[in-house]
Amino acid sequence: MIALGIEGTAHSLGVGIVTKENGKCRVLSNVIKMHRPAEGGIHPREAANHHAEQAPLVLAEAVEKAGISLSEVDLVSFSQGPGLGPCLRTAATAARALAVSLGKPIIGVNHCVAHIEIGCGVTDCTDPILLYASGANTQIIAFTNGKYRVFGETLDIGIGNCLDKFARDHGIPFPGGPEIEKLARAGRKYLELPYSVKGMDLAFSGILSSAAQYIKRGETVEDVCYSIQETTFAMLTEVAERAMAHTEKNEILLGGGVACNARLQEMVNIMARERGAQAYVPPKPLCVDNGAMIGWMGIVMHEAGVRMSLAETTVNQRYRTDDVHVTWRSG
């Protein structure tokens, strides 16, 4: 089966074409076009216009790179939520139009769950704790009793938005995460920032205000970036470790754009090693928002017998991870 997945929850429009080979996901193509606002944050309507303009081009490029013809696609899937309404509706419209014109089934998938399943699809992990660290989302997720449960999450902004906002306020280009990672490498001095772990939940906005104060007081951007990373990543690692202990799982999977960060990967690796557990990170293009993970999720669900009528493909901006009925895993 060849699945074509369309991702469009936020600033990125992605089309990925995947298939299943020896039980694993084989990515045939994975094209991502990111909307970068000239200034300020993301405006949902502008991002949606970007997706509408780019959709035919990204689709054509994905098909060409996969070396297939559109008629060979067996299934169309798309990100049904959570995300920004106008962006979700644009991606869903593209998916419906494609599925109807090809006469092929369509499946709407949960974006957060797709981050987990692609990790299991391309690495050796089978039943991990997912540390999902992206722009808008920061969640610790694990499968127990028939559902993916959220064990902990941010109480305010996502970790990636925290990094991007600090960057934007200090003249560092968007997306801020990768730039902060580079600057942090030159940082030497640790500056104390609010370490906000509340039970299994996290908060980042206090860190933002504190970090801005340090800059005002003349501390270097490098030291502040270093301190932001050390503090926020330690918070993420702590909560992930506690979730592993509670659930007695011995695999941890990273997902989301912030998972690309080498320092976060290092901390999580050390934590896993010390517990005798294993850490997994998918390749970068599969960590960030992408169409391949949506395509793969479509295959997983279709194989489990999931079918959707067009009427069931309405988007859900607040589609929660634990709203998904997981029929493809046991336990």
The residues that touch Fe ion, with contacts defined as CB under 5 A, are 134, 289
CA separation for the pair 261, 158 (Å, rounded)? 15
Considering the complex, state which of residue 251 and residue 289 has its C-beta at the smaller distance from Fe ion. Answer: 289
Nearest Cα neighbor of 116 from 243, 272, 296, 236 is: 296
Judged by CB under 6 A, the number of residues near ligand ATP is 25
Tokens of 174: 């968007």
Among 178, 194, 323, 324, binds ligand ATP (CB under 6 A): 178
User: Interface residues for ligand ATP in 70-129 (CB under 6 A)?
Assistant: 83
Considering the complex, state which of residue 201 and residue 289 has its C-beta at the smaller distance from Fe ion. Answer: 289
For residue 311, the minimal CB distance to ligand ATP (Å) is: 26
The CA-atom distances, in angstroms, between 102 and each of 1, 69, 76 are 15, 11, 9
176 interacts with, out of ligand ATP, Fe ion, none, CB within 5 to 8 A per kind: ligand ATP
Instruction: Determine if 288 is a binding residue for ligand ATP (CB under 6 A).
Output: yes
Q: Which of these ranges, 133-141, 187-195, 202-210, 318-326, lies near ligand ATP under the rule CB under 6 A?
A: 133-141
Tokens 């934007």 found at: 168
Residues 239/202, Cβ–Cβ less than 8 Å: yes
Residues 52/90, Cβ–Cβ less than 8 Å: yes
Nearest Cα neighbor of 159 from 184, 141, 176, 183 is: 176
Please state, as a whole number, how many other Cβ atoms lie within 10 Å of the Cβ of residue 186: 12
Considering the complex, state which of residue 11 and residue 302 has its C-beta at the smaller distance from ligand ATP. Answer: 11
Among 16, 35, 143, 164, binds ligand ATP (CB under 6 A): 164
Which residues are CB-contacts of 89 (< 8 A; sequence separation ≥ 6)? 48, 315
Nearest Cα neighbor of 313 from 81, 55, 14 is: 81
Among 3, 9, 59, 254, binds ligand ATP (CB under 6 A): 9
User: Interface residues for ligand ATP in 289-318 (CB under 6 A)?
Assistant: 289
86 interacts with, out of Fe ion, ligand ATP, none, CB within 5 to 8 A per kind: none
Among 177, 187, 282, 295, binds ligand ATP (CB under 6 A): 177
- Beta-bridge partner residues of 130: 141, 253
For residue 163, the minimal CB distance to ligand ATP (Å) is: 5
Instruction: Determine if 47 is a binding residue for ligand ATP (CB under 6 A).
Output: no
Instruction: Determine if 175 is a binding residue for ligand ATP (CB under 6 A).
Output: yes
Phi/psi of residue 64, each to 5°? -65, -45
Q: Which of these ranges, 101-109, 144-152, 171-179, 267-275, lies near ligand ATP under the rule CB under 6 A?
A: 171-179
163 interacts with, out of ligand ATP, Fe ion, none, CB within 5 to 8 A per kind: ligand ATP
Give the three-state DSSP class for 70.
helix
For residue 302, the minimal CB distance to ligand ATP (Å) is: 23
Alpha helix ranges (H) inside 144-203: 159-169, 176-185
Among 129, 258, 281, 300, binds ligand ATP (CB under 6 A): 258
Tokens of 142: 């694990």
261 interacts with, out of ligand ATP, Fe ion, none, CB within 5 to 8 A per kind: ligand ATP
288 interacts with, out of Fe ion, ligand ATP, none, CB within 5 to 8 A per kind: ligand ATP
The CA-atom distances, in angstroms, between 237 and each of 32, 68, 133, 240, 242 are 29, 41, 11, 5, 9
Contact residues for ligand ATP, defined by CB under 6 A: 9-12, 83, 134-137, 158, 160, 163-164, 175-178, 181, 256-258, 260-261, 288-289
